[in-house]
């Protein structure tokens, strides 16, 4: 495994590249790292794509502390990776919190983006009740508690290697919980403000049992409606991370979408 780095104002961004063909850049969600895509990446490589899995700023092997974690700045990290890999237009895949960053990237640098895929995107800002807010504050300060919370995002089935993955996840979060809180902090502008500026193909993916939403289907449709043109697809029997708990179904939808964006 070779980990590459791209330098940005404020630190370095780590990423790992495998395969050959049209470029796909994968960006994980809150508290995770590039290994979140460990089951999806080989399927995309087998389908003929070059895949770059990124450690979002503050996570994994990227620099631990940044002045901001707002999506409109994370997007510049992803674009820097695209430029470092030759500048060919890439399809950007953003999970959860990173689903916001890829919208900014596509709106600001369409010449570097051939399409975007939002996985588990949040259209509105969650408004937890006081009890949930207090619990969230505790969880977002403790790597161990975050690891326990992470288990709840797989209501149907967890990957066979989930326990081993979470052990590493928790270890990598030590000293990095500021970043975890940062990527989910309310940010202005919200990604929905820039969605209409996206002029590239858009795919919205959502697990049918995503526990982060009272009605995952409605959330997916709401995300789709933010764009001038977009498609929403549901991944059956999947939670918040369909690329981990249903990688075959997720890869099938992605490869079908990539066949379009690779020609864009």
* pLDDT tens readout for residues 166-189: 999 999 999 999 999 998 888 889
Share of the chain above pLDDT 90, in %: 88
Q: Is 83 left (phi over 0), alpha (psi -120 to 50) or beta?
A: alpha
Number of domains present in the structure of the chain: 1
- Structure confidence at residue 187 (pLDDT): 85
> Which whole number is the average pLDDT over 154-171?
95
Whether 16 has a pLDDT exceeding 70, the answer reads yes
pLDDT higher than threshold 60 for residue 264: no
Could you give the CA distance from residue 198 to residue 216 in angstroms, rounded to a whole number? 23
pLDDT in tens, 93-131: 999 999 999 999 999 999 999 999 999 999 987 665 565
Q: Report the pLDDT value the prediction gives residue 124, as an integer from 0 to 100.
A: 81
Tell me what the mean pLDDT of segment 30-48 comes to: 97
Confidence of residue 2 (pLDDT cuts 50, 70, 90): confident
Label each residue of the chain as H, E or C: CCEEEEEECCEEEEEEEECCCCEEEEECCCCCCHHHHCCCHHHHHHCCCEEEEECCCCCCCCCCCCCCCCHHHHHHHHHHHHHHCCCCCEEEEEECCHHHHHHHHHHHCHHHEEEEEEECCCCCCCCCCHHHHHHHHHHCCCHHHHHHHHHCCCCCCCCCCHHHHHHHHHHHHCCCHHHHHHHHCCCCCCHHHHHHHCCCCEEEEEECCCCCCCCHHHHHHHHHHCCCCCEEEEECCCCCCHHHHCHHHHHHHHHHHHHHHCCC
Confidence grade of residue 258 (pLDDT, cut at 50, 70, 90): very high
Over 90: is that where the pLDDT of 138 sits?
no
- Rounded to the nearest integer, the mean pLDDT of the chain is 94
Find the domain containing 177 and state its range: 3-261
pLDDT band at 257 (very low <50, low <70, confident <90, very high): very high
Q: What is the CATH number of the domain that holds 83?
A: 3.40.50.1820
């Amino acid at each position: 495994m070779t980990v590459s780095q791209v330098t940005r104002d404020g630190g370095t961004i780590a990423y790992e590249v495998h395969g050959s063909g049209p470029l796909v850049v994968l960006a994980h969600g809150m508290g995770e790292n590039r290994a979140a895509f460990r089951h999806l990446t080989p399927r995309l490589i087998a389908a003929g794509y070059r895949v770059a899995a990124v450690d979002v700023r503050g996570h994994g092997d990227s620099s631990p502390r940044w002045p901001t974690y707002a999506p409109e700045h994370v997007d510049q990290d992803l674009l820097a990776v695209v430029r470092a890999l030759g500048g060919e237009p890439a399809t950007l895949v953003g999970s959860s919190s990173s689903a916001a960053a890829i919208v900014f990237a596509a709106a600001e640098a369409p010449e570097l983006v051939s399409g975007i895929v939002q996985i588990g995107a949040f259209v509105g800002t969650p408004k937890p009740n006081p009890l949930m807010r207090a619990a969230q504050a505790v969880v977002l300060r403790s790597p161990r508690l975050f690891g326990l919370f992470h288990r709840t995002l797989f209501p149907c089935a967890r990957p066979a290697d989930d326990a081993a993955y979470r052990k590493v996840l928790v270890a990598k979060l030590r000293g990095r919980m500021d970043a975890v809180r940062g990527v989910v902090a309310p940010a202005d502008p919200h990604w929905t403000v820039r969605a209409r500026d996206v002029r590239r193909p858009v795919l919205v993916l959502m697990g049918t049992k995503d526990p982060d939403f009272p009605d995952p289907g409605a959330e997916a449709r709401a995300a789709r409606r933010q764009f001038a043109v977009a498609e929403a697809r549901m991944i059956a029997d999947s939670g918040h991370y369909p690329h981990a708990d249903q990688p075959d179904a997720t890869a099938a939808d992605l490869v079908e979408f990539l066949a379009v964006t690779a020609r864009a």
